[in-house]
Amino acid sequence: MKKNLTTVMFRGTKEQEEQLYAVIEKYRETPGALMPILQEAQEIYGYLPIEVQRMIALRMGISMEEVYGVATFYSQFVLNPKGEIAIAVCLGTACYVKGSGEILDKITQILGLPAGSTTSDGKYSLEATRCIGACGLAPVLTINNEVYGRLVPSDMEGILAKYK
């Protein structure tokens, strides 16, 4: 998986840090704990910036290389914060053959935002995802976890207008 590094400044709080350390403590005795820790860290921060990875490495007493290696290997771990309005278009096979590529192009065209990026004001992010399991409704997209299905490109303006 190719990953772009973020340019957004890290704004972690003290509470988040404490939550993170509690998670690491919880998994102290668990074999193979790095994955679940990264997953819960992402829930706390919304993404996994280098700063958070460094805290995890130090606390767990493992190398930064190991943490970074795992964080970049899995597509679910995001190193970029998502936008306030996070749009994800399914490019799973069922959606793709039903034209989700055109839906994605249409959104890029409307927002001027290429897939896999966030606007610099942090307002919108657009990503292509794999099957989200609503193939029966293909093609589908989600905006902040709300699912929209059976789409055609001309629906997009109306849907995006709801999120301003």
The answer to whether 14 contacts another protein (rule: CB under 8 A) is no
How many Cβ atoms are within 10 Å of 65's Cβ, its own excluded? 9
138 binds ligand FES (CB under 6 A): yes
Which one of ligand FES, another protein, none interacts with residue 147, CB within 5 to 8 A by kind? another protein
Q: How far apart are CA 128 and CA 104, in angstroms?
A: 8
CB 115 within 8 A of CB 127: yes
33 in Cβ contact with 25 (< 8 Å): no
Q: What x/- string results for residues 41 through 70 when contact with another protein is judged by CB under 8 A?
A: ----------------------------xx
| Terminal Cα-to-Cα distance of the chain (whole angstroms) | 31
Asked if residue 92 binds ligand FES (CB under 6 A), the reply is: yes
Single out the residue of 85, 134, 143, 151 in contact with another protein (rule: CB under 8 A).
Answer: 134
- State which residue, 62 or 115, has the beta carbon closest to ligand FES: 115
